[in-house]
């Protein structure tokens, strides 16, 4: 899909199916299905996909609105999780949970994030 079509998709409110990430003179095209999780880093997001990290100038809230709601859940103020990458949920401390991904990555889950995750998994 050309970049122009991606921009048009964003304008009409439909979910995107790829991310364009500029890295100096290169542009990486990452299918949404390849994304493991997204981590907020102020006005940037770090996108973990296929064992690599990519940095994109965009807030996590903006990206969250563009991603498919059924595939991604905000499990913490800093993390968006692709639920297809979730292997299990473990208790860590008193009422605290951790998402364990298929590649063994561990991400914290907030209370509200756990409620959102349960709602998506139960549906």
pLDDT in tens, 42-85: 889 999 998 999 999 999 999 999 998 889 999 999 999 999 99
What is the pLDDT at residue 12?
A: 53
Mean pLDDT score, 27-51: 94
Scanning the structure block, which residue is given the tokens 């079509």? 5
Quick one: pLDDT at residue 92? 86
The DSSP code sequence of 30-92 is EEGGGEEEEEEETTEEEEEETTEEEEESS-HHHHHHHS-TTTEEEEETTEEEEGGGEEEEEE-
pLDDT of 23: 85
How many structural domains does the chain have?
A: 1
pLDDT for residue 106 = 97
Contact (CB, 8 A) for 79 and 37: yes
CA 109 to CA 102: how far, in whole Å? 16
Structure tokens at 53: 């990290």
Instruction: State the residue range of the domain holding 78.
Output: 3-122
Tell me the CATH number at 42. 2.40.50.1020
């Amino acid at each position: 899909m050309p970049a122009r079509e991606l921009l048009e998709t964003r304008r009409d409110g439909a979910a995107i199916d790829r991310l364009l990430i500029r890295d100096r003179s290169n542009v990486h095209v990452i299918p949404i299905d390849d994304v493991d999780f997204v981590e907020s880093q102020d006005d940037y997001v770090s996108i973990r996909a296929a064992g690599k990290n990519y940095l994109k100038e965009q807030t996590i809230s903006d990206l969250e609105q563009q991603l498919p709601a059924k595939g991604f859940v905000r499990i913490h103020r800093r993390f968006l999780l692709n639920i297809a990458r979730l292997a299990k949920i473990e208790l860590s401390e008193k009422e605290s949970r951790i998402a364990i991904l298929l590649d063994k990555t561990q991400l914290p889950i907030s209370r509200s994030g756990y409620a959102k995750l349960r709602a998506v998994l139960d549906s």
